[in-house]
Structure 1
Amino acid sequence: MRLAELSERSGVSTATIKYYLREGLLAPGRQINARTAEYDEDHLRRLRLVRAMIQIGRLPVATVREVLGHVDDDSLPRTIRMGAAMWALPQVAEPDEEDEHVRSAHEAADQLLESLGWSNAQALVSISPAYRSLVVAMAALRRIGIDWDAQLLVAYARLMHQAAVLDLDFLERHPSEAEKVETAVLGAILVDPMLQSLHRLAQEEESARRYGFGDQQ
């Protein structure tokens, strides 16, 4: 397809596509002559990913370039490649390790992973942003006097594992390694908010089922 068709099918203006090409976010098309290039379905797929990261995820171009670098790094095994791409997305700040609540949250998070038998996750705690986010959230709860029930956390974690199985089953439908990693990145930007919304809707549904809509006490 030519640039005009790529623009029409993607919904991205030709000027924006040219900008992405200049910034290295989109691979050059196959040159037909000095003024014309031809693009394919891979360009369309990548363009949709870039558009999601920039326009929906509000990521700066430098971050998008870093994420794409990991997406395209076929020297890495799939787990590391996917992790590197996901970890390049914006993450929470490093917690204050001198904070007593952070220290106790670390202990609780480690005990949680151990009780779940998540040995692979345990091996990554020193570098995983997800583990860091868990510790930050648990520390914040403890700081305001809420010590979340450990057994409840285990139940939630097991539900999340079921979601992770569905996630990776969906990734397996895509033929190439790059497409699998791209889908994981899109999931972080688009699917995570969708799942959070479903969680809220489920809470509303269950609340109405239990308590109704009236002023009952």
Structure 2
Amino acid sequence: MKLVFFILLFTSFEQKDEVYIWFPNDVGVVQTCNGKDAEILIEITTESNKKIKVHSFNLDKSNFTIYKDDEAFKEIDTLILTKKNPIKLKVRYKISLENSKKFTFKTNVKKYLNNQVNIFYGQHIITTKDIRESKEQFINITESCQDSIMVFFPYGGTISSATLYNDSSSTKKIYKSVSYDLMEEGNSITFTKADLGRYFVDFGSCHWGGEFWLTIK
């Protein structure tokens, strides 16, 4: 009996000590022009109170400037991540469609020694966090060398949907909409320069949903 209790107690402590780190797998960049200035935002978070070392930042064979809290630092510097101190990065660079396709970094946590964020051009990716916080989305399509961009929505459940309206009144009319199954392709809406305007978005899924504004300019 004592042995069983010890195993359970040890397992409990082991699970509590397990470290998880969150960061986006993909980010979108509206610009599609070689040599055009671009900027990506990457937030790295954890629920652990341990001090996690984050270091060795790199942008796929491209020259870049990296900022934390709007202060530039060297890519060889080491940052400390904890639950109370998430790392919010801003990366500025000139686009090279041959390179500039992935941002990488390392940590001292075994499961997260090497990490990669994929960069997709001509796209804007809306996250679950954006919707839960009702964060208005601003997309400057005029910065793109293409005639259209794709706006991607998250997978909220078995079935998810996003509906755009011209306003938020009770008599609102649908402007564009999309519905998709879990992990099914097609979780995006294409916008052209003819779609400039401000739209009210209603996102829904099996267990949760949210509303926010989307501005195409």
TM class by shorter-chain length? under 0.3
- TM-score, normalised to structure 2's length? 0.23
* Structure number having the greater helix percentage: 1
Q: TM-score, normalised by structure 1?
A: 0.23
Structure exhibiting the larger radius of gyration computed from Cα positions = 1
